[in-house]
Structure 1
């Protein structure tokens, strides 16, 4: 009798494994636009009139936003990288298809050359709070709206932190409401966390990871900038919906693992990093197209799919 029960148990366990693998394969089949999965099912809720099917939450980088900027028509920095993507998308889609909301936050980085600026920690926290409030408010008013998050540099760190919270069930909206996330030059980029799109030559990690062991030592150079290391738990349920774009040798997202001169590495964060400033035109991020072209195509694929 015990032998029969053992055989039955093995059969049941085998069936469970087969079913589980089948479900995993099904959930990971099919992409939607370049580098993106099939978006969540939108039939579970209905929107009242005046809502958009999708909302793009755009989070600019350091010195590309302002706390009192207009999120629907940002003018704080006309040369902001994300405007090269959000403006064409606003012109392409109707308001009931896509709402573009650019996070207004201080976007500063106190450093030895600019001690009057808001600290990186405070600026980052402000940006995350503003974005979370918008996600929560829209989800409450428009429960069927799905979100696309896009961030650059400091904005990529914020968007990645939001994705990590949401993917692990502690964010301001449920994971199923996130259609996709793209992080450009994420300071917490980590191998195998999210998907590295385009150039796979990057061998480094985000600056917050590389400098985490010496976070206290570099405080005189960048006071109030905590190098927090990797995101605990990664992106959770959103891992296959998060895209990373990083230009090789951009020390914000492709920092050498060997610390070397930590003080010099900290100074690199506040100097004019030519590679970091060229995402609009750099052909080495995504072969065959620029970063803005890739992002616009990705967003278009999510919406039109």
Structure 2
């Protein structure tokens, strides 16, 4: 019997909504539920392939949420936690992986270095530009183990799905909400309230005193200005938000990502960073340009590079 190559797409419901998405556009599945459903579907298919044809070699490709799922499965296999043998994974390609490993020492950097600097062991191989930040859901802690040299990752500059700078605190703060089911909202709110109270109770007394003084000073200043000239109240409140140190002082006590996200919107440099990332993603099509943006000196796009690389791996197996 001759050797053959086949291609197939593993179906799953790709959603990230939960209660928020249900209201906004009718997507009831949370990111976590959709991710788990897709991961289970891929693992089930791999187990079937291994059972029906144990000599088969498999290449796995994924884009966006698909690459998140593919990467999760590959991480398990590469770290000897999966049911499919690592030796039978021929190659893998991840386009815009939401769990991309950071490739810069400073996750706050708005741009990456000229070449990837691997920050975690067992990281995937990178091709193309090296943007700053990391995947929006955070990196996989175990990497890809023995598959690290067979998993190739592509992330376009300005694609906030795979290159989210930690300066984009407002975007990062929204991601956990995408994993909330309806029944989780109450407990989540309670847990965040407990965290807030714990942070305040354990804060440095000097920080608490500083925050209280800042609040007292600003409240007194605003009250006095409003009593003299009520029309000045909006301007005084704006000055408190954008020019005073009060909000920063409160942040030292609160220590909550949600508060940091709000605070980042009052800082021109961080607000500009977030605006640029949102514009790159939504308006400039950074997330959908993998068939156009060059990733090597020959000007090949990520999809073309990946197709040629996979063909070479397949031909090397004698197919």
The two structures have a TM-score, normalised by structure 2, of 0.55
Give, in angstroms, the shift of residue 116 of structure 1. Answer: 3.5
Tell which has more relative contact order, 1 or 2 (C-alpha 8 A, sep 6+): 1
CA distance in structure 1 between the partners assigned to 2:126 and 2:174 by the alignment: 23
Distance 1:276 1:152 in 2: 10
For residues 144 and 172 of structure 2, what CA distance do their matches in structure 1 show? Answer: 30
Structure 2, gaps ≥5 residues long: 104-117, 176-273
Find the aligned partners of 2:89 and 2:69 in 1 and give their Cα distance.
15
Equivalent of 2:160, from 243, 246, 251? 251
Partner of 1:104: 11
- Is 1:277–2:288 an aligned residue pair? yes
Alignment of 1:82-231 (within 5 A): 96-110=3-17, 111-112=20-21, 113-190=24-101, 191=103, 192=118, 193-200=123-130, 202-209=131-138, 230-231=139-140
Taking the TM superposition and a 5 Å limit, the aligned residue runs for 1:13-32 are none
Instruction: Supply the distance in 2 between the matched residues of 1:131 and 1:116 (Cα, whole angstroms).
Output: 22
Tell me how large the CA RMSD over aligned residues is: 2.4
Encode CA deviations 1:4-38: one digit per residue, 9 max, x unaligned. xxxxxxxxxxxxxxxxxxxxxxxxxxxxxxxxxxx
Query: What displacement does 1:114 show?
Result: 2.3
When the two structures are aligned, how many residues end up with a matched partner? 189
> SS in structure 2 opposite 1:150?
strand
Q: Which residue of 2 aligns with 1:261?
A: 170
Residue 97 of structure 1 contacts residue 303 of structure 1 at CA under 8 Å; is this kept in 2? Answer: no
Deviation at 1:169, TM superposition (A): 0.7
Matched, 1:235 2:144: yes
Structure 1 pair 132–115 and aligned structure 2 pair: CA distance change class (3 A): same
Q: 1:298 aligns with which of 301, 306, 309?
A: 309
Q: Return the structure number with greater helix share.
A: 2
Q: Is the contact made by 1:185 and 1:246 (CA closer than 8 Å) also made in structure 2?
A: yes
Structure with the higher fraction of residues in strand conformation = 1
> 1:222 corresponds to which residue?
none
